[in-house]
Amino acid sequence: MKSIQSHIEIRTGSDSDIPRIKAAYQLLEHLGIPYTPRILSAHRTPGVMADEASRLSENGFRVCIAAAGGSAHLPGMTASETLLPVVGIPVQTSIMGGIDSVLSIIQMPEGIPVGTTGVGQSEHAALLAAQIAYLGENEIRNKIRAFLGIKSKLSGQININPVIGVVKTNTAHFDPIKYQKMVSFLQKAGIETIEYDVTSQTKDEAVHYLAELERKGAVANIIVYSVYHRIDGELSPGFWSSRTDIPNIVLPVVTDADLAVDEITRGMLHDRLILEEFKIMPNWGAVAFMGINRYQNAALYGAQIAGVFFPSISENINNYRSEIASVVREKDERIKTDGIGPFF
């Protein structure tokens, strides 16, 4: 399904991945949303892949879905070449069940975020991409809301604004310095933040918070989620994704205190993270997962969504990306001049 009005590109590294993400194409077709499918390999056609990624915005796209399995470099390499938000689908693998895929995509370095779904959750990826691409369009948003089972409809002119909500699920279990840097980054980029602490709040109050985000025309909602002190039930990440069509970004966090245990206990904690957290990710719906403790990437991903609709924010992201690239080039010049000694 291809259209010049397409705002969503779906890229796979090979044709074998196309049947595996069939649900993504089907959902967009069900919602009446055009998309552009591509086959672009990060390994076999890296130059073409990078060139096409760098031209996504000028070609009219607002978001890119990239699916990959195993080493799964396509989503991250795509994200490194564009300022648009990239949604990564970890494809199921025969040997490791897709855990290799999700780890390859989700744990991106600071500065290059990829919004990652659960393993094989192509329908969630398509829904998330639609939420991002059509934030300003009533008709599509109401179709998405109906699909989610949200009874209230949006009416009148939708005025989206550079506003992002930040939900704090366990304030005692995340890094306050990194958290504040995340919020400050958003604000410096020109984004208003609305912070919400759910520790002592009720379901009704949380619903009121989401209604306030929608009223303000927010473009995203970041959920700071403690991996080892998670909140089960109504106020888990799945609660937020099922009650609004605003894109939700989940930032899983751990603290030094969480890891200040003996080696056996630490191993058990990591087993829980891999064996439990990645298994329940699909239950949380269409959310964009960030890497563990990637506070900056959560802020960047939210800013990228805002940047789709507000060019000044996109320019701020571009300046930031130029700065971090400059740091790498300076270090490279230093190592060529002084050798590896200064880096030990």
For the chain, what percentages of helix, strand and coil (3-state, to nearest 5) are there?
50, 15, 35
Binding-site annotation, residues for substrate: 14, 17, 44
Kindly compute the dihedral angle of the four CA atoms of residues 148, 134, 140, 156, in this order, to the nearest 10 degrees. 110
d(CA 249, CA 246): 10
CA-to-CA separations, 192 to 83, 207, 208, 298, in angstroms, rounded: 20, 20, 18, 15
Q: Which residues, other chains included, contact 131 with Cβ-Cβ below 8 Å and sequence gap of 6+?
A: 144, 245, 246, 247, 286
Residue 169: its H or E element: none
Q: Could you list the pLDDT tens digit for every one of the 344 residues in the chain?
A: 444 589 999 999 999 999 999 999 999 999 999 999 999 999 999 999 999 999 999 999 999 999 988 778 999 999 999 999 999 999 988 877 787 888 888 889 999 999 999 888 999 999 999 999 999 999 999 999 999 999 999 888 889 999 999 998 876 688 899 999 999 999 999 999 999 988 766 788 999 999 999 999 999 999 998 877 665 555 788 889 999 999 999 998 888 777 665 565 556 565 555 555 555 566 788 999 998 899 999 999 999 999 999 999 999 999 999 999 999 999 999 999 999 999 99
Buried b (16+ CB within 10 A) or exposed e, 35-47: bbbeebbbeeeee
Q: What is the pLDDT of residue 44?
A: 93
d(CA 247, CA 213): 11
The CATH number, out of the four listed (3.20.20.70, 3.40.50.1970, 3.50.30.60, 3.40.50.300), of the domain defined by the range 8-132:
3.40.50.1970
Which of 335, 307, 285 shows the shortest CA–CA distance to 62?
Answer: 307
- Give yes or no for a contact between 231 and 169, defined as CB atoms under 8 angstroms apart: yes
Q: What is the pLDDT of residue 233?
A: 56
d(CA 91, CA 172): 35
Residue written as token pair 């780890």: 103
Which of 150, 290, 270 shows the shortest CA–CA distance to 210?
Answer: 150
Neighbours of 172 (CB within 10 A): 11
**280 phi, psi to nearest 5 deg:** -90, -5
- Secondary structure E strands in the chain: 8-12, 36-39, 63-68, 86-90, 115-116, 163-168, 192-197, 220-226, 248-253, 287-289
DSSP-derived secondary structure for 62-91: SEEEEEE-TT--HHHHHHTT-SS-EEEEEP
Q: What is the pLDDT of residue 200?
A: 67
- Give yes or no for a contact between 241 and 284, defined as CB atoms under 8 angstroms apart: yes
Neighbours of 26 (CB within 10 A): 13
Binding-site annotation, residues: 14, 17, 44
- Give yes or no for a contact between 27 and 10, defined as CB atoms under 8 angstroms apart: no
**Domain coordinates of the chain in residue numbers?**
8-132, 160-309, 312-343
Residue written as token pair 């069509």: 245
Q: What is the pLDDT of residue 95?
A: 79
> What tokens appear for 138 in the block?
């009533």
The CATH number, out of the four listed (3.40.50.1970, 3.40.50.12780, 3.30.450.40, 3.30.70.100), of the domain defined by the range 160-309:
3.40.50.1970
Q: What is the pLDDT of residue 2?
A: 45
Kindly compute the dihedral angle of the four CA atoms of residues 194, 200, 201, 202, in this order, to the nearest 10 degrees. 160
Say if residue 151 is exposed, middle or buried (CB neighbours under 10 Å; 0-12, 13-18, 19+): exposed
Which of 236, 214, 234, 232 shows the shortest CA–CA distance to 223?
Answer: 236
d(CA 165, CA 214): 10
Say if residue 228 is exposed, middle or buried (CB neighbours under 10 Å; 0-12, 13-18, 19+): middle
